[in-house]
Amino acid sequence: MATEQHQINVYTNDGEKDKKSSLKIVITIIIFIWAILGIAGFIMSIVCFGRSGTTTQHVVGLLLAIFFGPIYWIFYFAVPDYCKRLFS
Protein backbone atom coordinates (compact mmCIF):
# COMPACT_ATOMS: atom_id res chain seq x y z
CA MET A 1 0.00 0.00 0.00
CA ALA A 2 2.81 2.40 0.88
CA THR A 3 4.54 1.67 -2.42
CA GLU A 4 1.38 2.44 -4.40
CA GLN A 5 0.93 5.72 -2.51
CA HIS A 6 4.56 6.65 -3.20
CA GLN A 7 4.08 5.98 -6.93
CA ILE A 8 0.95 8.14 -7.00
CA ASN A 9 2.84 10.98 -5.29
CA VAL A 10 5.70 10.69 -7.79
CA TYR A 11 3.30 10.99 -10.74
CA THR A 12 1.50 13.93 -9.12
CA ASN A 13 4.79 15.74 -8.52
CA ASP A 14 5.84 15.19 -12.14
CA GLY A 15 2.60 16.79 -13.33
CA GLU A 16 3.17 19.77 -11.05
CA LYS A 17 6.72 20.13 -12.34
CA ASP A 18 5.43 20.14 -15.93
CA LYS A 19 2.93 22.89 -15.07
CA LYS A 20 5.60 24.96 -13.33
CA SER A 21 8.00 24.45 -16.23
CA SER A 22 5.35 25.50 -18.75
CA LEU A 23 4.50 28.57 -16.69
CA LYS A 24 8.17 29.56 -16.54
CA ILE A 25 8.46 29.25 -20.32
CA VAL A 26 5.34 31.37 -20.90
CA ILE A 27 6.52 34.05 -18.45
CA THR A 28 9.96 34.09 -20.06
CA ILE A 29 8.46 34.55 -23.53
CA ILE A 30 6.21 37.38 -22.30
CA ILE A 31 9.14 39.16 -20.64
CA PHE A 32 11.26 38.72 -23.77
CA ILE A 33 8.55 40.18 -26.02
CA TRP A 34 7.96 43.04 -23.54
CA ALA A 35 11.69 43.85 -23.53
CA ILE A 36 12.02 43.75 -27.33
CA LEU A 37 8.97 45.99 -27.82
CA GLY A 38 10.26 48.32 -25.11
CA ILE A 39 13.69 48.65 -26.71
CA ALA A 40 12.11 49.18 -30.14
CA GLY A 41 9.80 51.82 -28.63
CA PHE A 42 12.73 53.63 -27.03
CA ILE A 43 14.68 53.67 -30.30
CA MET A 44 11.61 54.85 -32.20
CA SER A 45 10.96 57.63 -29.68
CA ILE A 46 14.52 58.86 -30.19
CA VAL A 47 14.10 58.72 -33.99
CA CYS A 48 10.81 60.64 -33.73
CA PHE A 49 12.45 63.58 -31.95
CA GLY A 50 13.42 65.10 -35.29
CA ARG A 51 10.08 64.41 -36.94
CA SER A 52 6.59 65.92 -36.85
CA GLY A 53 4.84 66.57 -33.57
CA THR A 54 5.14 68.98 -30.68
CA THR A 55 7.90 69.05 -28.10
CA THR A 56 5.41 67.84 -25.49
CA GLN A 57 4.54 64.84 -27.66
CA HIS A 58 8.22 64.02 -28.07
CA VAL A 59 8.89 64.20 -24.34
CA VAL A 60 5.79 62.16 -23.48
CA GLY A 61 6.76 59.57 -26.09
CA LEU A 62 10.28 59.31 -24.70
CA LEU A 63 9.04 59.00 -21.10
CA LEU A 64 6.49 56.36 -22.08
CA ALA A 65 9.16 54.39 -23.89
CA ILE A 66 11.55 54.59 -20.93
CA PHE A 67 9.13 53.83 -18.12
CA PHE A 68 6.39 51.73 -19.73
CA GLY A 69 8.11 50.10 -22.71
CA PRO A 70 5.58 48.65 -25.15
CA ILE A 71 2.85 51.04 -23.96
CA TYR A 72 4.69 53.59 -26.13
CA TRP A 73 3.25 51.91 -29.22
CA ILE A 74 -0.30 52.72 -28.11
CA PHE A 75 0.73 56.39 -27.90
CA TYR A 76 2.50 56.16 -31.25
CA PHE A 77 -0.59 54.91 -33.08
CA ALA A 78 -3.15 56.91 -31.07
CA VAL A 79 -1.72 60.42 -31.63
CA PRO A 80 -2.40 61.34 -35.26
CA ASP A 81 0.33 63.94 -35.83
CA TYR A 82 3.13 62.35 -33.76
CA CYS A 83 6.04 61.13 -35.87
CA LYS A 84 3.99 60.76 -39.06
CA ARG A 85 6.41 62.55 -41.35
CA LEU A 86 8.88 59.73 -40.76
CA PHE A 87 7.31 57.46 -43.38
CA SER A 88 5.70 59.94 -45.74
Read off the pLDDT of residues 52-78 as tens digits, 9 standing for 90 and up: 888 899 999 999 999 999 999 999 999
Task: Report the alpha-carbon distance of residue 75 to residue 5 in Å, rounded.
Answer: 57
The one-letter amino acid code at 66 reads I
* Residue 21 pLDDT level (bands cut at 50, 70, 90): confident
Domain with 48, as residue range(s), is 2-87
* Residue 30 pLDDT level (bands cut at 50, 70, 90): very high
Task: Report the alpha-carbon distance of residue 23 to residue 85 in Å, rounded.
Answer: 42
The CA-based angle 35-88-63, given to 5 degrees, is 35
- Supply the pTM of this predicted model: 0.70
Q: How many domains does the chain have?
A: 1
Higher pLDDT, 15 or 18: 18
